[in-house]
Structure 1
Amino acid sequence: MTLVIATATQTEMKAVLLGFNRRGRVGCKLPTTGECCESPVNGHRCLLVVTGVGPVNAALSIGRVLGENKGVCGVVNLGVAGSFDLEQAPLGSVVAADSEIWPEYGLHTAEGIDPRGIKFPVLEYTGVDGQYSVWDRIELEPEKGFRLLKLSAPKDLLKGASMTVSGVTGTEERARMLTERYAPLTENMEGFSLALACLQAGIPFLELRTVSNLVGSRKPEHWKLDDALQALGRHARELFV
């Protein structure tokens, strides 16, 4: 069985691999955007995937990977993210998504977006207790994911709702609006697509991201990307201990 390790960018993948062995690679070349390569990671058979940035790229990449590779047991999405609240999720902290939110799906109204306004759910599927529909949120179970994939939870792991957007939130006003309407902890650009693909395929999904910035702020003191990338590698290594 193969575990997919997915990052949005080659920079994030390199940080993950540097965390594994300090050389930026594990048994294969560093995949570029849209590429994937097989690699063992501490006894796990893994497929390293760089999806490209954004929900469309993520959907295209994971669809191709799952379609071309039989026996995928699950997907781990690693990367960096913005924090809506630096007191709850400080710069450099690691957060596991316990739900994924897509705030851009539905009918635009004066009061905001109504995900049920166009009457078509993103996905309808059969669960253990019946039929379910996905609109703008997917509930996740990180503890179950760690157990099923035989991975270790990193130390000091936080949990919270993650929001996937097509465009990064660039103003404090929009950050406040999203917080009031959806109460997310972090912002990313790929997680909902990957979570949806795993839900449809019936395989576990884990999303772990380190905090690189404060959502809505462009102030230099609210951005620590290099520190977040170093933390990403460190916590990625902890998964396989």
Structure 2
Amino acid sequence: MSALLVVTAVPAEAEAIRAGLAEPAVTVAPVGVGPAVAGAATARLLALAEAAGRPYRAVVSAGIAGGFVDRVPVGGTVLASRSVAADLGAESPDGFLPIEELGMSAELLGVGSVVPADPDLLAALRTALPDAVVGTVLTVGTVTGTAGSTAALAARHPDAVAEAMEGYGVAVAATQAGLPFAELRTVSNPIGPRDRGAWRMREAFAALTTAASALR
């Protein structure tokens, strides 16, 4: 039985993780970019494994991410205390309203816009990666690319350390399957105006390979 399913967006992330794995009973699967495809593909992988009699015990969303300046350095490693659908809600004259503030019932909300990391899984990863920065990791459908939107996002989420595009979708799939979930990211660039010259992809992938030793 595979103990752990690690989901990435793209093959390069999966390859970086496989290069650092110390545990053979870990499945690493690139599933695509964005919360919808990541959630749907993860749910399918979990359902197929369960149907085959080899269910997974936990799910980790992993890959590279943008980091908030002064909260996590480029090349640093991040563990999500919770994964948040940062743009799931509505605009209003007073600013963004998360879905929880739209007057919907708990039944309609489902899991809501926030999925906490499993405490035991997070604790194990923190022990294995003591230098990792722990905080909220935001899931967005559109990568933040202006100073204004960066400032607004940072103000709405003062405990956020990074943003990516898949964590929340993977978290919902794991939650629906009743499985522990965690999110692991390494930072390739600062969040803000797009400056490809400031991206450090090689360093982020190297950090991901190093962090993969914690995935057991």
TM-score band w.r.t. shorter chain: 0.7 to 0.9
Aligned to 1:154: 129
Aligned to 1:65: 45
Moved over 6 A (4+): none
Deviations, residues 7-63 of structure 1 (Å, cap 9, x unaligned): 11001111112223xxxxxxxxxxxxxxxxxxxx52x52222111000111011111
Aligned to 1:215: 191
Kindly indicate whether the alpha-carbon contact (under 8 Å) linking 2:117 and 2:180 is maintained by their aligned counterparts in 1. Answer: no
Q: 1:175 aligns with which of 147, 150, 161?
A: 150
Kindly indicate whether the alpha-carbon contact (under 8 Å) linking 1:79 and 1:232 is maintained by their aligned counterparts in 2. Answer: yes
Please report the TM-score for the alignment, with normalisation by the length of structure 2.
0.86
Gapped regions of structure 2 (runs ≥ 5)? none
In structure 2, distance between residues paired with 1:45 and 1:208: 18
Q: Please state which structure has a larger fraction of its residues in strand.
A: 1
Q: 2:29 aligns with which of 27, 37, 49?
A: 49
Which has the bigger relative contact order, CA under 8 A and spacing at least 6?
2
In structure 2, distance between residues paired with 1:122 and 1:48: 33
SS of residue in 1 equivalent to 2:65: strand
Q: 2:67 aligns with which of 66, 83, 89?
A: 83
Q: Please state which structure has a larger fraction of its residues in helix.
A: 2
- The alpha-carbon distance between structure 1 residues 63 and 120, as it changes in their structure 2 partners (threshold 3 A), is farther
SS of residue in 2 equivalent to 1:72: coil
Aligned to 1:108: 91
2:27 is matched by which residue type in structure 1? L
Kindly indicate whether the alpha-carbon contact (under 8 Å) linking 2:129 and 2:211 is maintained by their aligned counterparts in 1. Answer: yes
Aligned to 1:35: none
In structure 2, distance between residues paired with 1:112 and 1:228: 33
Report the more deviating stretch, 160-169 or 44-53. 44-53
- 1:145 is displaced (CA, Å) by 0.7
Aligned to 1:7: 8
In structure 2, distance between residues paired with 1:151 and 1:99: 14
User: How do 1:85-234 and structure 2 match up within 5 A?
Assistant: 85=69, 87-114=70-97, 115=99, 116-117=101-102, 119=104, 134-142=111-119, 144-146=120-122, 153-183=128-158, 184-220=160-196, 222-234=198-210
SS of residue in 2 equivalent to 1:96: strand
Please report the TM-score for the alignment, with normalisation by the length of structure 1.
0.78
Deviations, residues 169-195 of structure 1 (Å, cap 9, x unaligned): 111110101111122210000000111
- % of aligned pairs identical? 32
